[in-house]
Structure 1
């Protein structure tokens, strides 16, 4: 079959088998040999392979693991990324339960202590932007950037319990947010750069590990957090948001009476929060070491060489650049609205249950925990679902489920159907689970390559939704009725649906490559057709 390229060169496609035995023939059934004669008369030959078919073949994985050294290194590097995001979720997950201790350590009030959240978010934004710039400019090895982000994160965590001055605690949370934002940006962009369109399952595993870390860390910190028997209890249960947008994990915690925490009253209160924080710092050190090893092995330069050999496959991205940019902007807005819905639902769920449904604080805590359990379950299942469905279909399905779930939550709350509220809360958590990472996958496949700058723009957009929506909703609930919790989130989910269809419409106007498949694995550029394996 012949295909004419844009520059007038003649391109031919034919099935190819690169293996001699039966197992290799099975592996290569989905491959196509693409031959193109360039302006100098040389024949360029490429093997086009559908990564989804090769990933689904267990034999293909074992074959590549055994015979492809670079593939093994990429796989091990991916495990290091997953471990780093487990640490990221661990750090952010323990912040809520340890917040009362931090107020005691810094001898401050709840009102002044709330600045820790704000400054952490500011630091996160700065860290995301700076890391995105360094990641793309290649000022230093990307594995070195990741190593510095994780090891710096651990150093800051180790210092936090010893910041007795309020001003020092505020500054250290800015630095903590900067390292967290850098880790988040570099981890998302780095995994996409490592695998490209082949890494959907790995990307889902990355985000599941964050959620899993956020679930485990409160359990590890529980024996050491401030005992409520030591102080008066005035505010039984509130939610504390975490300034991370990969998967914003919220933790319910009980707050202590910090109205009278002064220099005179402080000596009677002892905090042991330095113990779990030191453990967390050690975890950060351990998960940073693989990146240092890979930096010394110059793995990044090998990956860059492999990717440079395949750059011509993405030349079609330069065409229709305006449509691609418009599609990307649409997805940036989508991410902002989605994160607003995700964070606001979890952050205000207990407050809504107590004020509108007249539940107890304990009941509100239980249903919030159930929400996050369903969320983590969905993240885990997403690892396998991305192998079967395209990102566009995944986003549509889970967006539709989210719309139905929030509508059901609204109706059951309106008529005070407790069982229904529980069911639709679980469904809402499950429906939210895979949308965030899948947006990255869809952007990589149809709009723009996910680089450090692209990842940082996504995360900055997420932070805007994270900061604005709670303020807006809090005003509505206080001024009118707590039911605005349901009304606003349902309306924003409808907006998400429109943004999805707009993105789908734009993506369909962007043509696919001639074969419809990404170029990967093998490249040949000489008349003798010498095959060089680069995967």
Structure 2
């Protein structure tokens, strides 16, 4: 099978890098090529712009987690209603990814990136001012639509720019690393602007039960509450906060400015295009890889879809609810909640960075299986640590979860591209659709289970999902090894 068919690079894209076999690499350094090749400089500029757009998505994802309690306070909602914000965000991303799949090949890609990023920045800046619940839901939904549109372009461009070369595969990992870096920095930048409200407590006394103490959210609550079933509730150490006390708008303004800067970069690339330059993306015929029966290949594609749904259900929502879980269940401060969010993203960055070296020594299916097993063990450890309120165990668990999750998505793309089907726009759209479907449904269950049953369901649900994706990884492993023997 030729390299183009194997790796799914569209040769019709004249902006793509020429394909080079790994064993016939040029001895010239990248710095030499940058100095002496206009084409390489153009590819570098495109790579920086695409990575910058991906970093904006990572920045926003890292910011929403620690800011979520303040967002709920601004809109006057509890955790159940607040979970609708995340649901609307991922619903918007699902719609945006479908919309982007249709229009990406119909208009200039640089203009598409520019317009989507500008609208994205305006929406980010508006979120801290949405005091009405419905308005906040709409803002998160529109933010998701804008992000979904340009994430399709990110997926397509990251594969196309450098082609199926070692440099191209390294760029995919570096792109994921850029996403992780921005996710680590965002909570640290956001933390100084969060409300410094201490955690409140209520003591519930019932004639037929023992006294119990529960952590409350930090929004204002009346100091004298009553319950019809002879239950008296007293609030201790209560302080009131209001929207005027929040400085979250400053943190989100920083995010909006960063998004506008990347939008300007894409607009400059558009202005620098030659009159006869390529305006839209092209697609070539898409076929499965290998000699297996079409039925087995389609089953494996379904397996990949399930893996993508559950992996992203974890990846998109775990960190988003992590700070809230630690603040409300573990009785941590908001600063600690922001810190563990940063640790979660930093360990993901470590995993992505290690993947740059691991791909040279380990095959993708082995990395995928190992990563899912380790992350499952981490979720089990997190659950046990939370049950006994063992803080150190929580920190260790987050590290053991973050590192393998930093490997999973880019390695999965490599596995699909080499063993199942070329990752072109159709497959990229399929993966985005399944990813955002998982991210869309997950907050509904998490918010409901945490609010109505127990906060520990935060841990239980992620354990169940992690076990299932381990089973998906086992299938991918045997699909690859048995194919190697034929």
Under a length normalisation based on structure 2, what TM-score does the superposition of the two structures give?
0.73
310, 314, 333: which one pairs with 2:306?
333
Does the 8 Å contact 2:86/2:443 carry over to 1?
no
422, 429, 434: which one pairs with 1:456?
429
Q: In structure 2, do the counterparts of structure 1 residues 361 and 272 end up closer, same or farther at CA, with 3 Å as the change threshold?
A: closer
Q: In structure 2, do the counterparts of structure 1 residues 305 and 487 end up closer, same or farther at CA, with 3 Å as the change threshold?
A: closer
Q: Give 1:272 shift.
A: 3.6
161, 172, 175: which one pairs with 1:206?
175
Q: In structure 2, do the counterparts of structure 1 residues 305 and 317 end up closer, same or farther at CA, with 3 Å as the change threshold?
A: farther
2:397 and 2:245 mapped to 1: Cα distance? Answer: 42
Question: In the alignment, what sits opposite 1:250?
Answer: none
Question: In the alignment, what sits opposite 2:30?
Answer: 61
1:162-241 mapped onto 2 (5 Å cutoff):
162-163=129-130, 165-198=132-165, 199-228=168-197, 234=200
Q: Give 1:296 shift.
A: 3.2
Q: Give 1:219 shift.
A: 2.6
Question: In the TM superposition, what whole-angstrom CA distance separates every residue of 1:27-53 from its partner, at most 9, and x where no partner exists?
Answer: xxxx9xxxxxxxxxxxxxxx9843477
1:522-533 mapped onto 2 (5 Å cutoff):
none
Does the 8 Å contact 2:83/2:447 carry over to 1?
no
1:256 aligns with 2:231: no
Q: In structure 2, do the counterparts of structure 1 residues 280 and 387 end up closer, same or farther at CA, with 3 Å as the change threshold?
A: same
The more displaced of 116-125 and 499-508 is 499-508
Does the 8 Å contact 1:234/1:257 carry over to 2?
no
1:361 aligns with 2:304: no
Does the 8 Å contact 1:129/1:453 carry over to 2?
no
Q: Give 1:97 shift.
A: 4.1
1:441 aligns with 2:408: no
The more displaced of 331-340 and 401-410 is 401-410
2:463 and 2:413 mapped to 1: Cα distance? Answer: 23
Q: For CA contacts below 8 A with separation 6 or more, give which structure has more relative contact order.
A: 2
1:100 and 1:476 mapped to 2: Cα distance? Answer: 18
Question: In the alignment, what sits opposite 1:155?
Answer: 122
Q: 3-state DSSP class of the match of 1:434?
A: helix
Does the 8 Å contact 1:193/1:450 carry over to 2?
no
Q: Give 1:334 shift.
A: 0.8
The more displaced of 328-337 and 406-415 is 406-415
1:125 aligns with 2:94: yes
1:488-503 mapped onto 2 (5 Å cutoff):
489-503=462-476
Does the 8 Å contact 2:343/2:399 carry over to 1?
yes
Q: In structure 2, do the counterparts of structure 1 residues 178 and 469 end up closer, same or farther at CA, with 3 Å as the change threshold?
A: closer
Question: In the alignment, what sits opposite 2:355?
Answer: 382
2:175 and 2:466 mapped to 1: Cα distance? Answer: 25
Give the root-mean-square deviation of aligned CA atoms.
4.4
Q: In structure 2, do the counterparts of structure 1 residues 58 and 493 end up closer, same or farther at CA, with 3 Å as the change threshold?
A: farther
Q: 3-state DSSP class of the match of 2:106?
A: coil
396, 415, 428: which one pairs with 1:423?
396
1:195 and 1:406 mapped to 2: Cα distance? Answer: 36
Q: 3-state DSSP class of the match of 2:164?
A: helix
Gaps of at least 5 residues in structure 1 are 6-10, 12-30, 32-46, 237-253, 513-535
Q: In structure 2, do the counterparts of structure 1 residues 301 and 405 end up closer, same or farther at CA, with 3 Å as the change threshold?
A: farther
Q: Give 1:186 shift.
A: 1.8
Q: In structure 2, do the counterparts of structure 1 residues 200 and 228 end up closer, same or farther at CA, with 3 Å as the change threshold?
A: same
Q: Give 1:361 shift.
A: 2.0
2:310 and 2:275 mapped to 1: Cα distance? Answer: 35
1:348 and 1:268 mapped to 2: Cα distance? Answer: 22
63, 77, 82: which one pairs with 1:109?
77
Q: Give 1:126 shift.
A: 0.9
Gaps of at least 5 residues in structure 2 are 4-17, 203-215, 223-239
The more displaced of 96-105 and 299-308 is 299-308
Q: In structure 2, do the counterparts of structure 1 residues 444 and 268 end up closer, same or farther at CA, with 3 Å as the change threshold?
A: closer
2:461 and 2:129 mapped to 1: Cα distance? Answer: 41
Q: 3-state DSSP class of the match of 2:162?
A: helix
Question: In the alignment, what sits opposite 1:285?
Answer: 260
Under a length normalisation based on structure 1, what TM-score does the superposition of the two structures give?
0.67
1:102 and 1:481 mapped to 2: Cα distance? Answer: 22
Question: In the alignment, what sits opposite 2:230?
Answer: none
The more displaced of 277-286 and 164-173 is 164-173
Question: In the TM superposition, what whole-angstrom CA distance separates every residue of 1:435-473 from its partner, at most 9, and x where no partner exists?
Answer: 012212222223233233422322332233334445556
2:50 and 2:96 mapped to 1: Cα distance? Answer: 18
Question: In the TM superposition, what whole-angstrom CA distance separates every residue of 1:188-225 from its partner, at most 9, and x where no partner exists?
Answer: 22211223433222122222222222222233233333
Q: Give 1:228 shift.
A: 2.8
1:440 and 1:207 mapped to 2: Cα distance? Answer: 12
1:139 aligns with 2:106: yes
Q: In structure 2, do the counterparts of structure 1 residues 445 and 353 end up closer, same or farther at CA, with 3 Å as the change threshold?
A: same
Q: In structure 2, do the counterparts of structure 1 residues 268 and 290 end up closer, same or farther at CA, with 3 Å as the change threshold?
A: closer
Q: 3-state DSSP class of the match of 1:256?
A: coil
1:95 aligns with 2:70: no
